[in-house]
Structure 1
């Protein structure tokens, strides 16, 4: 699974590569080296043929939830079922997005404790595939621009190469040549699954990983030191 990731200052350059000139200011976002579920993160999606950057809550909220923050957030959607699962099906068909990241964290059981690792692209940042759902805030009028509140989940798949040695799941990531097809509306669900399967397999072969400090375990901690490599012999288990 993917339960924590990083968006450092360099991720802003990746976001700029995604965007087209729309005349609308992009929402401000704060770099974080410890993005956690329920945080608002910048995602890229397509609306009316143009790419748009939005701040979206990480962790899908069911439309039937009485509150936007109620219940356990659904942070991941499996590629094996995302096109058929009732909660994800419509979002996968028509509300896909890209979640830029400098890398993500996974934990491995070692010596009776869990050791965090940072997994990232060896050549570039990551473009994680996601889906968006809208939750109706019935405390507001339907004409209110804030009536629909957005939440998203990151699509995951079985892991390959380096990350497979840390965890059995990984985010499904996209290569730049597949951005347009993923965000657009031309492909059927089956074609999108094939695209995502092939793209994420390609990205997996360019990933590297290293152990990091257990300080990342606490969502209260943030900063570039969290992604820095450590020597495992120096870690207190």
Structure 2
């Protein structure tokens, strides 16, 4: 799974990286090296053929949930079922997104407790594939633009190469040449799955990992020091 990641870019960096439109205000983003479920995160989506940055909650909220923050957030969607699962399939067909990250964390259970590892591409960020769902705030009028609140899940798949040595799942990632097709609405679900399977396999070959401090285990801790390698006993 992917349950924590680092995102060290600021809003302007993301706009430049993904060539997003700035016609409407982009969400202000403060870099975080310990992004956790239920956090608001910026994602890249496409509207009317143009890329936009939007702030969404990490962890999909079911439209039937009485509250936006109630229940356990669904933070991951498995590639094996994302196109058929009732909670995900509509979003996978029409509301795909990109979640930029410096890398992500996974844990191994050892005799000394859970040891975190940072998995990343040296020198470059990774583009994790996600889906976005809208939750209706029934306390607001149907024509109120604030009625709909957005949440997202990161798509995961079986891990390959280096990530598989730490955990059996990894985020499904995209290569830059696939961004347009992934974000656009022209791909069928089957074609989107094939694209994601191929691109994520390619990305996995360049992943590296190393152990980091257990300070990252607490969501209260943040800062670039969390990415510093540590030596294990």
Q: TM-score, normalised by structure 2?
A: 0.97
Matches within 5 A, 1:99-110: 99-110=99-110
Return structure 1 stretches of 4+ with deviation > 6 angstroms: none
Residue 226 of structure 2: SS of its match in structure 1?
helix
Q: Distance in 2 between matches of 1:165 and 1:33?
A: 22
Task: State the partner residue of 2:180.
Answer: 180
| Secondary structure in 1 matching 2:179 | helix
The size of the alignment, in residue pairs, is: 233
Q: How far apart are 1:16 and its partner, in Å?
A: 2.0
Q: Equivalent residue for 1:27?
A: 27
Q: How does 1:32-71 map to 2 (within 5 A)?
A: 32-71=32-71
Contact 2:33 2:224 in 1 (8 A): yes
Asked whether the equivalents of residues 11 and 125 of structure 1 are also in contact (C-alpha less than 8 Å), the reply is no
Shift of 1:143: 1.7
Name structure 1 gaps, 5 residues minimum. none
- 1:147-198 residue CA offsets vs partner (Å, 9 max, x unmatched): 0000000000000011100000000000000000000011111000000000
Separation in 2 of the partners of 1:162 and 1:14?
A: 27
Q: For 2:154 and 2:66, how far apart are their aligned partners in 1?
A: 23
Partner Cα distance (2:110, 2:94) in 1: 41
Match for residue 97 of structure 2?
A: 97
What does 1:36-185 correspond to in 2, within 5 Å? 36-185=36-185
| Corresponding residue for residue 202 of structure 1 | 202
d(CA) in 2 for partners of 1:188, 1:62: 23
RMSD: 1.3
C-alpha offsets along residues 83-124 of structure 1, whole Å, 9 cap, x if unaligned? 000000000000000000000000001124110000011241
Cα distance change, pair 11–195 in 1 and its aligned pair in 2 (3 A): farther
User: Residues 10 and 203 (structure 1 numbering): CA distance in 2 closer, same or farther, change over 3 Å?
Assistant: farther
Paired residues of 2:107 and 2:114 also in contact (CA < 8 A): yes
Q: Take 1:6 and 1:56, find their aligned partners in 2: how far apart are those partners?
A: 16
Task: Find the aligned partners of 1:221 and 1:94 in 2 and give their Cα distance.
Answer: 36
Unaligned runs of 5+ in 2: none
Aligned mates of 2:11, 2:49 — CA distance in 1? 23
8 Å CA contact retained: 2:10, 2:30 = no
